[in-house]
Structure 1
Amino acid sequence: MNLFWIKFKDILELIVFKHSIFALPFLFSSMIIGSKLINGTPWFGFKALILGIICAVSARNFAMATNRLMDEDIDKDNPRCANRPNISGKIGKKSVWLFIILNAVIFLFCSYFINTLAFYLSFPVLFVLVIYSAFKRFSSLAHLVLGFCLGLAPIAGSVIVMGEIHIYSVILCLGVTFWTAGFDLLYSLQDMDYDKKAGLYSIPSQFGAKATLLISAFFHVLAVLFWLLFVWQVWGEALGYIALFGVCISGIILFFEHKIVRNNFNHIDKAFFTLNGYLSVLFFIFILVDLLWN
């Protein structure tokens, strides 16, 4: 039994499970908006909730494990990654492959029971989740590809609840994409020197720290603008001033995130996880309160 829990903890460390907090609130935000538009209530039912959570978790597990496997040749020489379970030997390559296949099957299986569109889209979604690791080897667009991977969450929410890709979910997807790409740029500053040595095409390694901070700030401005456009898209039908206030709070959080990182790169982890975790949860809470208030 103790061996099982040790392996379980190693798996959670491999996929950095705590970072699931970034995408899930945006999935739920999209689902309650979709339900409000078609049902007149934010509640979308237990079936959609359970299948949505399973799909989100299995897709992320698949993406993270695939990334770890594809990046082994890069990570093994990076001091920051030396303690990852697949690098240290806690988890073998066969186990990682088994975990990848298992989560892909779970994702496809659950998508089938959501609706036809969800099942058809599940295959290209898995493809998109795989290509991020390849992009960093030849293009600086890898940060945006990663952002789009998380940005798929609100589109998934629309598909799960409404059976279609509604325009609000596309706008919210773009906001999440630029938000994620922006904080990934800040996070990747930690690996700037190593990426240069390894020949990787991260924006910090290609353009330097100052340019990275500027591009990250620009991405976050775009994120807030798309979030404002998202609220405007469903203004009156679903959202109002409470959601608008929530977007403003999100913008303030991003401002402090940049202020923290600019003052001291040693605080990147704090800015990356703590502030962005708060932001995603608060974003959902403001959306939910607005829907319930109206």
Structure 2
Amino acid sequence: MSNIENEENGIKPEQKNLSSFFTIFKLIKFSHTIFSFPFAVMSAFIAAGGVPRIRSLLLIIGALVMARSCAMSFNRLVDAKYDISNPRTAYRIQLQNHIGKTNLWFFTISCTILFIVCAGMLNRLSLIISPAALLVIFGYSYTKRFTHYSHLVLGLSLSLSPIGAWIGITGEITTAPFILALAVLLWTAGFDIIYACQDLQHDIETKLHSIPKMMGIKNSLIFSSVLHFFVVITLLLFMYFTNLRYVYFGGVVFVGIMLIYEHSLIKPHDLSKINLAFFTVNGLISMILMVATIVDISIFC
């Protein structure tokens, strides 16, 4: 819509731009940043052995937000032909039309550049590995076209957050953040498998790949529960590589209880509570574990 058309309809250009800006955040589901943000923050606190420098923490958060934003907007662009035929995601096309493809590409490229800038301002190693991170997060969008294990690639994408945060603080690569990253990978893959169950029919019709398509819903839910069992084991193992103690352990117990609750909500014949299991439960898991970790560090370090 041109500026003249906007004015004729009582819409000022700046109002249109502001509306498009907020529509982008709705399109990329900015609220889902809650899944990776806490793990980056807790990793930064552990790496620093306490409260990290504010500048470093802000740059880490900025890099994480930019990375996720460019990855999600890129996903919406390249998956548009699939989203339009899926009743669950068809609304994304309406949002894209409101924003404009050119504006969405501009947003994607801008966030990519800002991610690299934030990484470079942290330290040299962060800058060097930033292209590899982009390769993973952009590559995820294509995986459903050729492999059933795209859920694991999504997990890998989110698992980069604690690794990146650790390197952003220390400028070094050590074992500890990779253990935490493994927990994030298993956790994300597990809940994404649950979420993907509702797209089974669409995946079959469009010849896309997924674990629910390969295993069926019942076996996929079992596989997801196995992954989540190992999440708890990995989080406990993480204590061995850090100075975390009792409060963190309590956080892990909470995670285990919430994962059990999550799986109790979903039945092979009843997927009606998927949104509760996906967003609310997993959002609590990440936030409570982060808080428990920070409190633990504050007390014992």
One fold, TM greater than 0.5? yes
CA distance in 1, matches of 2:95, 2:203: 18
CA distance in 2, matches of 1:17, 1:165: 29
- Percent identity of paired positions between Structure 1 and Structure 2: 37
1:274 aligned partner: 280
One-letter amino acid matched to 2:73: A
Matches within 5 A, 1:222-261: 222-234=230-242, 238-261=243-266
One-letter amino acid matched to 2:114: I
Is residue 3 from structure 1 mapped to residue 16 from structure 2 by the alignment? yes
Q: CA deviation at 1:161?
A: 0.7
Tell me, yes or no, if the aligned pair for 2:83 and 2:93 is still in contact at 8 Å. Answer: no
1:39 aligned partner: none
Range with greater deviation from structure 2 (107-116 or 89-98): 89-98
Q: CA deviation at 1:207?
A: 1.4
Tell me, yes or no, if the aligned pair for 1:75 and 1:87 is still in contact at 8 Å. Answer: no
Matches within 5 A, 1:1-294: 1-36=14-49, 42-85=50-93, 89-234=97-242, 238-262=243-267, 264-294=270-300
Q: CA deviation at 1:255?
A: 0.5
Tell me, yes or no, if the aligned pair for 1:65 and 1:100 is still in contact at 8 Å. Answer: yes
CA distance in 1, matches of 2:107, 2:168: 25
Tell me, yes or no, if the aligned pair for 2:84 and 2:93 is still in contact at 8 Å. Answer: no
Tell me, yes or no, if the aligned pair for 1:138 and 1:201 is still in contact at 8 Å. Answer: yes
TM-score under structure 2 normalisation? 0.92
Q: CA deviation at 1:8?
A: 1.7
Structure 2 gap segments, 5+ residues each: 1-13
Give CA deviations for 1:40-94 in whole Å, capped at 9, x if unaligned. xx11111101111110000000110111111111111111111115666212221
Aligned length: 286
2:5 aligned partner: none
Tell me, yes or no, if the aligned pair for 2:80 and 2:93 is still in contact at 8 Å. Answer: no
TM-score under structure 1 normalisation? 0.95
One-letter amino acid matched to 1:35: A
Tell me, yes or no, if the aligned pair for 1:159 and 1:165 is still in contact at 8 Å. Answer: yes
One-letter amino acid matched to 1:200: L
Tell me, yes or no, if the aligned pair for 2:23 and 2:95 is still in contact at 8 Å. Answer: no
Tell me, yes or no, if the aligned pair for 1:14 and 1:86 is still in contact at 8 Å. Answer: no
CA distance in 2, matches of 1:5, 1:88: 15
One-letter amino acid matched to 1:33: I
After TM superposition, where is structure 1 displaced by more than 3 Å over at least 4 residues in a row? 85-88
Q: CA deviation at 1:218?
A: 0.9
Q: CA deviation at 1:242?
A: 1.3
One-letter amino acid matched to 2:165: G
Structure 1 gap segments, 5+ residues each: 37-41
Quote the RMSD (CA, aligned, Å). Answer: 1.2
Greater Cα radius of gyration, structure 1 or 2? 2
Q: CA deviation at 1:14?
A: 1.3
